[in-house]
């Protein structure tokens, strides 16, 4: 079991809403830190000591192995927020996290092991083709599905991204309903 919780995993662990966890962090009840991308993270010992103080039962095991993990990589916080929110509200109960740059994305791919990577290829420090090739050529991540986003993709670039391993490509502005359909289809949750 991981020793670091996202707000979402902490909310499941405590059996409360994500908003409640955020309120507890903001009020100083739970010690947390932020990733370079601005996401809150909580160390297991800090969460469990808070739970013990509050009389919240600590679960024996957390059963979310079956939950599908999605990593959204984009340096535009508005786009990230809209994608994350849209997917978190989906009936399939995905676990969604984001990264704001290539470095954080690399760490998250290795640590979080997403089933799907939604990647903006027009970020300053990301070479979209390289990212796709790296992920698809590594034995640990070769089954990760990759959805590429870009404001500047034409058919030729789409074809090239697919050669490098992208499973789907979307142009910005982003059609969220189609993106959600594609995610569910790739995960085998829809025909």
The pLDDT score that the predictor gives to residue 95 is 87
Q: Among residues of the chain, what percentage have pLDDT more than 90?
A: 41
Q: What is the mean pLDDT of the chain?
A: 87
Q: What is the pLDDT of residue 172?
A: 85
Number of H helices, E strands in the chain: 8, 8
pLDDT attached to residue 1 = 46
At 42 the pLDDT is: 94
Closest alpha carbon to 68 in 35, 94, 30 = 94
- Residue 140's contacts (CB-CB under 8 Å, 6 or more residues apart) are 110, 113
Structure tokens, 4: 């670091």
Confidence of residue 37 (pLDDT cuts 50, 70, 90): confident
Of the two residues 118 and 175, the one the predictor is more confident about is: 118
CATH class assigned to 69-186: alpha beta
Exposure string of 139-152, with b = 16+ CB inside 10 Å and e = fewer, is eebeebbbbbbbee
pLDDT (0 to 100) of residue 62: 52
pTM: 0.66
Average pLDDT of 1-26? Answer: 87
pLDDT at 149 over 50: yes
pLDDT tens-digit readout, 55-71: 998 887 655 567 899 99
* 89 vs 100: which has the higher pLDDT: 100
CATH 1.10.1660.10 fits 4-54, yes or no: yes
| Residue 182: per-residue pLDDT | 94
Per-domain boundaries in the chain: 4-54, 69-186
- Is residue 119 within 8 A of residue 148, CB to CB? The reply is yes
Give the angle subtended at the CA of 131 by the CAs of 148 and 190, to the nearest 5°. Answer: 40
Q: Is the dihedral of CA 37, 39, 45, 49 positive or negative?
A: positive
């Amino acid at each position: 079991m991981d020793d670091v919780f996202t707000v979402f995993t902490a909310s499941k662990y405590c059996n409360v809403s994500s908003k409640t966890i955020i309120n507890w962090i903001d009020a100083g009840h739970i010690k947390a830190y932020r990733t370079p991308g601005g996401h809150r993270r909580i160390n297991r010992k800090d969460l469990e000591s808070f739970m013990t103080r509050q009389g919240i039962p600590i679960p024996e095991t957390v059963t979310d192995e079956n939950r599908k993990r999605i990593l959204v990589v984009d340096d535009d916080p508005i786009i990230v927020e809209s994608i994350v929110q849209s997917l978190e509200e989906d009936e399939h109960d995905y676990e969604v996290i984001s990264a704001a740059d290539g470095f954080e994305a690399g760490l998250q791919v290795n640590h979080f092991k997403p089933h799907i990577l939604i990647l903006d290829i027009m970020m300053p420090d990301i070479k979209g083709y390289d990212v796709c090739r790296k992920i698809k050529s590594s034995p640990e991540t070769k089954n990760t599905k990759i959805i590429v986003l870009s404001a500047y993709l034409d058919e030729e670039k789409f074809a090239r991204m697919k050669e490098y391993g992208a499973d789907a490509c979307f142009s910005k502005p982003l059609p969220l309903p189609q993106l959600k359909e594609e995610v569910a289809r790739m995960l085998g949750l829809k025909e």
